[in-house]
Amino acid sequence: MSVKGAGPSLVSSAVIIDELIRLGVREAVVCPGSRSAPLSRALVHAEAEGRLRLHVRTDERTAAFLALGLAAQSRRITPVVVTSGTAVANLQPAMVEATYSSVPLLALTADRPQSYQGTAANQTIRQDLLFEHTSVWEGDVDGTADLDETTAARLRARIDRMAATMLRRSEGGAGHLNVRLVEPLVPEEDLSPAIPDGRADGAPWVDIRHLNDLLPDASLSHNPTTSTGEFTLDLSEPTLVVAGDGAPYISALADVPTIAEPGAAAPDLPLHPLAAQMFTAAAVVGDEGVLNMLPKNIVVVGRPTLHRDVVKLISDPRIDVTILTRGGYPHAADFPDVAANARRTVSSVRTVAEPTEEWLTICEAASNLAAEAVREVLFPSDSTDVAVTGMHVAAAVADSLRTDDLLVLGASNPVRDASLAGLPFPGVDVLSNRGAAGIDGTISTAVGAALVRDRSHPDAIRPPRTIALMGDLTFLHDVSGLNIGPGEPRPENLTIVVANDSGGGIFETLEPGRPELRNGFERIFGTPHMADIQSLCDAYIVDYRRADSLQELLAELHPDTDVDGIRVIEIRTEREGLRDLHTTMRSRTRIGGGN
């Protein structure tokens, strides 16, 4: 039916939202704005019809990271709708993270008509190409012109192309659809405008499949069929796998010892990351003579970024390094090889033979030594007075995890500490914004992921747990992510653990934290603060708990603890001794002078 006052902008916006829903969009985030009113109203009507779930936020940066969390957990395109001007610019951090993590976040931005450019019109900037280098697809739509059956079909087909690119198994990521809108921005009647019909069966206008068919589902697992992108790996030779963030489980490599970051699939034969330095020693004298610990082959999957010893191992020119990749980076030629030491990149691997018992024994012993070193340094048996650090908190959180939990990790120290604590674990999903490794937006990402997690277990007696671990600066950076309106969907079981060491603990372990460089360290690296986390939680009406010990933290994190919505648990920690802790751990795993 026709709607009084429904101009071209309202019709174009309704067509865009309708086609996105046909493409699988089930969540959307809206920020208030006048120019974006046609898009926002189309989403409100879609929610009323039960076609999607809508989330509203007042801060565009927070909204974008909420959409990122929703998209990362659901693997569906998730739009964030904003008005023109600086509102669009505030999406940039999340767009960067989404593209470098292959997450289908859609910036659906309202713009002024093209004729407004260069006229000093209010709230008008050049925003159509704002994400040119931080998205995999960018398009500009003129929503100021009337749509007929033909032009509506073209608009739908264009959106389908965008979605196929964003969801592409190779080089997928964020997209930007900039929509130029003109008055009237709202109708005279509170009804949805009549729009040209989409496909009668509810499907997208064009079912674009070829982009996802370029690489079959099994392209990263054992595939007996030879292809130009396949590599044959002899497992009888000493071989390791380094599984970085986003690395999938690869059945062909299940029998190979694997150093896996928390964001990778849990391997069958985990190798502790602290053991990496042991393997750079070519020979070590043991009880039975000379023991060769240098791997001949390393296969890299995903994107390893956490541990310098692991990067150093991959960079060793004596080792034959193979990068197993199917893309997932902003550009087709991107792959993880910072040291330029890779011998080859492949899209699949075929294995022959099996690892020797000697090699498996060496790897198991190295991993056990590293894991024991971490526990002995953190919890020495000869001392009951231990200063609690972020590493202790990460170990406690790791100990509390159970099957089907979702763990969201801050991209600074927490994800590294969790790795030293032994993650990834089978049955525990881990999410960390490691695409660009920023600490911004972590609370909002966790909220989005938890909301999707709730929906994935609709019949569970208790909602599934989502636990987020972050430092105080990460928490403060995105505390507005707790600002959720009274009518908005809220996570049912989200616990945010804040390890508060009043500053940037990671710098204690890096070069700026060296003893001889402490002059000015606290001000420009430590960055202490006086923020009261409890008061902030009270301001946002979020449940707050304070844990004064690791035992209290473990009690709060017990799986039987009831959580109604969101709660924040703060535990005060020390960062002064972090450098010594890391040094001691590494020294206890150094064999034969290897570094």
pLDDT in tens, 371-392: 999 999 999 877 667 789 999 9
Whether 284 has a pLDDT exceeding 60, the answer reads: no
Reported as half-sphere exposure (CB side, CA atoms, 13 A), residue 228 has a value of: 1
Query: What pLDDT score does 123 carry?
Result: 82
pLDDT of residue 3: 54
Q: pLDDT value at position 463?
A: 84
Q: Kindly give the pairing relationship between strand 283-286 and strand 289-292.
A: antiparallel
Q: Which amino acid is at 507?
A: F
Q: How many CB atoms lie within 10 A of CB 114?
A: 12
Task: State how far the Cα of 553 lies from the Cα of 570, in Å rounded to an integer.
Answer: 9
With the CA atoms of 178, 183, 184 and 185 taken in that order, what torsion angle do they form, in degrees rounded to the nearest 10? 40
- Of the spans 320-329, 338-347, 487-496, which averages the highest pLDDT? 487-496
Burial of 196 (0-12, 13-18, 19+ CB in 10 A): middle
State the DSSP code for 488.
Answer: S
The secondary element (H helix, E strand) that includes residue 166 is helix 149-166
Reported as a pLDDT band with limits 50, 70 and 90, residue 486 is: very high
Q: How many CB atoms lie within 10 A of CB 140?
A: 15
Q: Would you say residue 355 has pLDDT above 80?
A: yes
* 325-362 as b/e: b if 16+ CB within 10 A: bbbbbbeeeebbbeeebbeebbbbbbbeeebeeebeeb
- pLDDT at residue 490 in the model: 96
Q: Is the pLDDT of residue 168 over 70?
A: yes
The CA distance from 278 to 441, in Å, is 36
Residue 456: predicted pLDDT: 83
What pairs with residue 260 in β-bridges?
Answer: 243
Predicted confidence band of residue 222 (pLDDT cuts 50, 70, 90):
very low
User: Do 557 and 467 touch, CB atoms closer than 8 A?
Assistant: yes
Is residue 158 scored above 60 in pLDDT?
Answer: yes
More confident residue, 188 or 229: 188
Largest Cα separation within the chain, whole Å, is 89
Q: Give the residue from 154, 162, 97 showing the smallest Cα distance to 136.
A: 162
Give the SS3 label for residue 459: coil
CA 352/CA 252 separation, integer angstroms: 9
* Residue 409 CB burial class (10 angstroms; 0-12, 13-18, ≥19): buried
Q: Each residue of 535-594: pLDDT tens digit? A: 999 999 999 999 999 999 999 999 888 888 999 999 999 998 888 899 998 888 875 443
Q: How many helices (H) and strands (E) does the chain have?
A: 18, 21
**In sequence order, which residues have a C-beta less than 8 Å from that of residue 390 and are 6 or more positions away?**
413, 414, 417, 471, 499, 501, 505, 573, 575, 578
- Under the banding of pLDDT at 50, 70 and 90, the label for residue 281 is low
Alpha carbon distance 570, 338 (integer Å): 37
**How far apart, in whole angstroms, are the C-alpha atoms of residue 21 and residue 195?**
15
Q: Phi and psi dihedrals of 481, rounded to 5?
A: -65, -15
Strand residues in 371-428 grouped as ranges (E): 406-409
Evaluate if residue 114 carries a pLDDT over 70. yes
Distance of CA 420 to the CA centre of its chain: 19
CA atoms of 156 and 172, how far apart (whole Å):
20
pLDDT in tens, 39-72: 999 999 999 999 999 999 999 999 999 999 999 9
